[in-house]
Amino acid sequence: MASNFLFLEFKDEEIVYLLSSLRKIFAQKTVKTNIHITVRGPYTKLITDEEIRKTRKKIQNDVILITGVGRFDNTRHTVYLKVGSENLEKIWDKPDFPKSKYGYNPHITMYDGDNESLADGICEFLEKERLELLCHSFKLTPYVSKQMPLFEESDNVKGGHFLELSNRRKVRADILERAYKLVKYYSG
């Protein structure tokens, strides 16, 4: 049975290009979903347009801050970037991970795999980068598991650079090259 989710999908082209490129390097393959936060779900029922409209209204003027790194280690090793905004918690509803038990932890998954050493290396790499990105442009996207992807990362990433982020010293220009070397070190 399919599960229904609501993603907060990032639209800032430079941030999407940077994070998509890093995630692709870390995963060593193309990831089928765009850079996003899962803010609601899973649900068995479809999320209605009215629910999306009400949810959108609660966060429409927010600025999303992407900063900090975290880890989940269960059967797989997951490295993520922490995310927050003024009203994000107001739209948060994750029935499989209730706040009372798991806390509130909005994030962008950057690596999810079996290689613990690589996960350690990625976590350390991202901590040293000290990314602090502000995103003003985002949208809410319904997603149904087990469906054809709504977007292909490689087709959805426009611009192909993060020049402004580099010029404003939010990220070092050689970050992708260094990330590639890190993965090669731990995987080869």
pLDDT in tens, 69-119: 999 998 899 999 999 999 999 999 999 999 999 899 999 999 999 999 999
Domains of the chain: total: 1
**pLDDT at residue 156, rounded to an integer:** 46
Position 149 scores a pLDDT of 53
Q: How much is the pLDDT for 148? A: 53
The pLDDT of residue 158: 56
Two tokens at 164?
Answer: 């402004």
The enclosing domain of 84 has a CATH number of 3.90.1140
Q: How far is CA 177 from the centre of its chain?
A: 20
Our measurement of the distance from residue 24's CA atom to the centroid of its chain's CA atoms, rounded to an integer in Å, reads 12
Amino acid 145: pLDDT = 85
Domain extent for 91 = 4-187
Amino acid 45 reads: K
Q: What strands lie across the sheet with 4-10, from one edge to the other? A: 36-43, 4-10, 138-144
What's the confidence (pLDDT) of residue 152?
Answer: 45
**DSSP percent split of the chain into helix, strand, coil, nearest 5:** 35, 30, 35
pLDDT tens for 140-182 read 999 998 765 544 444 445 568 899 999 999 999 999 999 999 9
The amino acid present at 140, given as its one-letter code, is L
Confidence category of residue 15, pLDDT binned at 50, 70, 90: very high
Contact 8, 161 (CB under 8 A): no
